[in-house]
Amino acid sequence: MAKLLRPFINGRHLPAAPSPSPSTSAASSNIFTLINPTNAIPYKYYHPTSSDSLQHALLAAKESQKEWGITAPSHRAGILRRAADIMSKNIPLLTELETLDTGRPIRETEYDIVEGVECLRYYSGLVSATSSGGSYQFGGGSWGYTLREPLGVTLGIGAWNYPIQSALWKSSPALAFGNSMIFKPSEFTPSTALWLAQCYHEAGVPAGVFQVVLGGKEIGQELVESPVVSKVSFTGSLSSGQKVYETASRDMKKVTMELGGKSPMIIFDDANVDNAVSGAMMANWYSSGQVCSNATRVFVHESVMDEFVEKLVERTQKLRIDDPLKESTDVGPMAHKEQMDKVLKYIDIGMKEGATLLYGGKRVTDLPDDLKNGYFLEPAIFTNCNDDMTIVKDEIFGMVMSVLSFSSEEDVLQRANNSELGLAAGVFTKDVQRAHRIIQKLEAGSTWINNYNLVPMQLPWGGYKKSSIGRENGIACMESWTQWKSVYVEMGDVDCPYPK
């Protein structure tokens, strides 16, 4: 029996509405069904949040923020710490919820939940230490001061590949700095965001300060258009982000956006090849390749190309593709059928355009009966690629690695930067001077030297070019969730040149 999910608005889950039973179709005009990617069986469903309920949420967010915004930062920090404690006691439950929605192996989702706890604790500490402004002395005893104030009602729109991370990266700083937030998770993966709303409520977040609404793009569109919303934080595709940005700009709303990438990894001739292979696998196979920062363009120096490819194929062949709820599983299914079909289409395009499919690229069917209908794919390794191929240029969002050869530093830099996206990049070399020189010349916002896809909370997250607007995480994110007020205090008479 499929479970009904309900929006969390103004401190409670909305009452269930009568509806027909869900079917195997993903969506209709009045119902959306979640399909378990492991077996293609419907297991949850919901009604998109009605326009009346959205207006109720907006009103609740506006009214509750007035008090929340003037609550002492130390008190808000304490509530976030309590939320972190609640979350830390529910790691097994959240891990399973996240895995069932996304298909990601339970080892991966457990890591996300643990990091989510740290996210809450990080922002509880950050707001306690940085919420105040400064004071300044001027002539004649007059002085001034600055206030860091919240923006008001904010909107978070999350991605389907990392649901709980997306919800926490947006809501933790938003709430810490006194904003309220309406969060719309991806229509495919809403479960952990709904749990988070209940967690915040239990921790002491007032009703209306954090709410979760359900539905697709039309729900997000209505909220972005609302004059009540002062800031939008969006994670998703470039095309969707551009539409959201255009709508938000009409009212001059503040925005932060993370819109994906087609990131390069450069492996030089002096690199530790075993580490480079590990990095390339983490940058392509993790989360079934459904990671915005993945380095799917792997540039390998011609002198180590054969060794790199041999070791890459050997280790990729050992990956255990299985039920993501098993601790031993390395690769789970794609998150939904549409994404699996998209990846298979790109693999076919790659072969037709002349790239060599060296390994994988097929749907996995050699599985137990209860998994045979799941959306499982083999990782695909392409060699003999060139920079003009579709698989090298487009963000595919799946396990499709393009291995490209290079001979000189100047050549590979030009090719690595030849993209309209610039989210991330990585360099593998033992030459420290070259590593820093290359990193400084790469047109990307989140970069690694001799590793890949590690994202500590202290470092700002975001990209260059069309990949991002603004930053999430780190101290830099404060500017995305607050605004400055300057106050001048006159201690004498007004010096006025006009006649009395």
Which residue numbers are catalytic?
Answer: 170, 258, 292, 472
Both tokens assigned to 181: 């937030």
Question: From CA 288, how far away is CA 290, in angstroms rounded?
Answer: 6
Interstrand relation of 264-267 and 254-258 (parallel, antiparallel or unpaired)? unpaired
Q: Is 293 exposed, middle or buried (0-12, 13-18, 19+ CB in 10 A)?
A: buried
Q: Which of 482, 484, 478, 480 is nearest to 126 (CA)?
A: 478
Instruction: Considering only CA atoms, give the Rg of the chain.
Output: 24
Question: From CA 186, how far away is CA 163, in angstroms rounded?
Answer: 8
Both tokens assigned to 271: 């690199």
Phi/psi for 127 (5° steps) reads -70, -30
Question: From CA 187, how far away is CA 236, in angstroms rounded?
Answer: 12
Question: From CA 277, how far away is CA 57, in angstroms rounded?
Answer: 48
**CB within 8 Å of 262: residues ≥ 6 apart:** 296, 297, 393, 394, 395, 419, 421
In angstroms, the Cα distances linking 453 to 286, 289, 336, 424 are 9, 12, 23, 9
- The answer to whether 340 and 40 are in contact (CB under 8 A) is no
